[in-house]
Amino acid sequence: AQSVTQLGSHVSVSEGALVLLRCNYSSSVPPYLFWYVQYPNQGLQLLLKYTSAATLVKGINGFEAEFKKSETSFHLTKPSAHMSDAAEYFCAVGNSGNTPLVFGKGTRLSVIA
């Protein structure tokens, strides 16, 4: 079975500060990892994905994440937060089989001016 734990249900940062959203996964097979973002009153959209290629993955809007197998982590970062980054962020895990993605409970990011 696969699972995802997102540390912190709510993270608040100042505009221009570093964004760090934490995700740890559990998987008995090599994982595929994803970050999705949900803006208010919208569906989720893919930010970035790791599927066993480069361990540092760059996504949209300046976000990136690093796959660390030894730490079973896939933390999401952005060097400088923007007001428009305020949203809910979901980490998800899958694999090369046909099992649907398992999502974490989400982290709500607030950006303070």
Q: For residue 85, which of 94, 76, 75 has the smallest C-alpha distance?
A: 76
> Which of 43, 56, 70, 113 is the binder for other proteins (CB under 8 A)?
43
Amino acid at the residue 42: Q
- What token pair was written down for 10? 């709510």
**Segment contacting other proteins by CB under 8 A, of 10-18, 46-54, 58-66, 71-79:** 46-54
Interface residues for other proteins in 54-73 (CB under 8 A)? Answer: none
Mark 9-38 with x for binding to other proteins (rule: CB under 8 A) and - for no binding. -----------------------x---x--
Q: For residue 84, which of 64, 59, 109 has the smallest C-alpha distance?
A: 109
